[in-house]
Amino acid sequence: MIHQQSFAELRRQYRRGELSPVDVTRSALEHAERVAAPTNAFALLDPDRALAAAHRSQQRWRSGQPTGDLDGMPVTVKEFAAVQGWPTRRASLTTSTAPAPASTVFVARLEAAGAVLLGKTRAPEFNWKGVTDSPGFGITRNPWNLDLTPGGSSGGCAAAVAAGVVRVSFGSDAGGSVRIPAAFSGILGLKPTFGLIPVVPFPSHFSNTAHVGPLGISSTDMIEALQIVGGSSASDWTSVSESAEARAAGESPIENLRIGLLDPAQWSDSAPIVRAGVDLVAATLRAEGLHLREVDFDVRNASVVGQELYELACAQIVRGIAAKDRALLDPALVECADAVGEPDLQDYFALMQRRDAHGAALAALFETVDVLLMPTVPITAFGAGRNVPEGWHDPNWFSWNPYTPAFNGLHAPALSYPVWPAGADLPVGVQLVARKLSDRRLLRLAAWLETRIPIRLSPLAEE
């Protein structure tokens, strides 16, 4: 399908007049309609708005004045993001159906750059868990196998990309919510450095553990999108920009990277196919002459800190809901909040001190390596509509997510790369982590891997 071509190829054809943004947008919308029912990937699609934007883009290309690399490129955003004129339901029956009065900064940047916003993608209620379903809006399903979850909380983004509707979709990640669905759905997912993509107005309930990030099928397309939406904003006091030093480091030769393979003892309980996925990436890097060595970082306890911060936020979400509306909430979210109880200030400061200690350890590690390699999650996708795999030992979804939350609290960029080791019937996610503001380095390493371990679209992309 014409809309599934790379951004670079679409630009080439737009420039020559061989295709138009209107053609491409219609193709993407038609495919979105085909896969919407089986996947439940979309909270809303707005063909009129999308086609109007595509017509404006077409005029710019015809006059030789495109706004940039994303002009005329179809994209979607996760339901949490405010888009002027669309409701911001956050997948909850407790929220308003009124249209948002203004767009989140990164959404405004996308539209100003000429990107064609097709609609919003599904998420669990208030983005609270690592799968995608909610009492009011149903179950989102994995394009590789509709009986399985795509992961969450950016599961609608992942489903839209894996099903071949868009090449890039913007989600959010406060405890793995970009990387988990990327792993389960066989695509790329980047949790950037905290603040690299501004979130105001309407910031996340998860405060400074929440990161806006892209999911995609091509690292190159994601780099182009990140260059549009990334960078500090005067309206967001937490926002940051890529430094000249980080940009230069990100452009340095891949062959010079020092790769730290997390001590396998820390992920020895991962499923054999997941261990095989990490081994495949490690072997690929070694075969090309890159230097790998085993390193130690207490990722599990750092993730416990991330989990505790996350669960405090969940409790705060529930406290903010009127008592009369709490029966409308996901019961498991309420259970999570009740388990947290009333926060204790001394316990909170102790939690911050633990985070500081893990942050210092990670900073010291990145003095000796450039990239840390480990699994994204220890399992592959499981049954849709469940918070944990059938027969799992613990009802808390964090029990199957011990590797991603660490880097939310520590603000380091982390990327999930999809692989299919021998014998795999589902994709496996391999996580790459770097020091703060090394996002470009991770995406360039992913682009390098793409030439050696190609990324696949799901069969739904061809329907």
Give catalytic residues, as residue numbers. Answer: 78, 153, 177
Amino acid symbol at 313: A
Residue 411 to residues 158, 182, 240, 359, 360, Cα–Cα distance (Å): 22, 19, 12, 9, 12
Query: Would you state the structure tokens that stand for residue 383, as one six-digit string?
Result: 């049954």
The single residue listed with the structure tokens 């061809």 is 462
Separation CA 191–CA 358 (nearest Å) = 18
Which sign, positive or negative, has the C-alpha torsion 306, 439, 226, 453? negative
Name the burial class of residue 271, with classes exposed (0-12), middle (13-18) and buried (19+) by CB atoms within 10 angstroms of its CB: middle
C-alpha dihedral over 103, 105, 108, 112, to 10 degrees?
160
Separation CA 50–CA 364 (nearest Å) = 47
Instruction: Give, rounded to a whole angstrom, the gap between the first and last alpha carbons of the chain.
Output: 9
- What is the largest distance, in Å, between two alpha-carbon atoms of the chain? 64
Residue 166 to residues 46, 58, 170, Cα–Cα distance (Å): 14, 18, 11
CB 161 within 8 A of CB 217: yes
Angle between the N-to-C axes of helices 21-39 and 47-62, in degrees from 0 to 180, rounded to the nearest 10: 160
CA 50 to chain centre: 23
Query: Would you state the structure tokens that stand for residue 451, as one six-digit string?
Result: 């030439």
Query: Would you state the structure tokens that stand for residue 320, as one six-digit string?
Result: 């903010």
Separation CA 28–CA 78 (nearest Å) = 17
